[in-house]
Amino acid sequence: MLPKVKLLEELTESGIIAVIRRMPREQIIPIAESLVDGGVSAIEVTVDSPDAFLVIEELSDQLKGRAIVGAGTVIDSESARLAIQSGAEFLFSPSLHEEVIRMALRYGKVVMPGVMTPSEMIQAIEWGADMVKLFPASVLGAQFVKDVKAPFPHVPVVPTGGIHLDNAASYIEAGAAAVGVGGSLVHAEAVQTKDYTRIQRTAEQFVSIVNGARQSLSLSDNMR
């Protein structure tokens, strides 16, 4: 089991947390391999996917040492416990649930609840959340991240929902620790045609964009 600090480092290393939701079971491993080959360091399997806990277990074994695997759409303590027992190293929720946070803390896993307001952000941190998932990010936008990071610079924010190649950089430049990406990374058409090369190339594009935004942000900070 990786220590919490190491988990947090790996979770945000590439800046991209890939979301796999309701994909054909037989394609999940090649999809995940393509994402990792493209530079993604964290993969989330949503628990509303078929055989989600078995998939998490298989991916955790398959990607050990190359990427960390976690569970998404976790909204109750039982799902959280089953995900952790299956090998999930992090738990993500679309909403704020204290019992999910408590379960993750009990087992030393990273937990990121979904929030949409400054009050929810602080409540999540007070309950012990490691980071917060700004969801749906498409409703609030990158400017919201920038504005909320001013009074709460200590709160790691991960926007998710509506992130694509054209706006990922703006969220990182606004202060996001990483971004969660689903459909614009794991294209439905690429899955249907089993075009795993396309998925890998898209992953490479996302990682490159995030790296560029981080470098730009670092240069800007150094010039102040």
Which positions are annotated as active-site residues? 44, 133
Largest Cα–Cα separation, the chain: 51
Q: What is the CA angle 82-84-87, rounded to 5? A: 110
If you ran DSSP here, which 8-state letter would residue 14 be given? S
Task: State how far the Cα of 140 lies from the Cα of 148, in Å rounded to an integer.
Answer: 11
Q: CB–CB of 117/124 below 8 Å?
A: no
Question: Measuring CA to CA, which residue among 8, 2, 17 is closest to residue 159?
Answer: 17
Task: State how far the Cα of 166 lies from the Cα of 146, in Å rounded to an integer.
Answer: 18
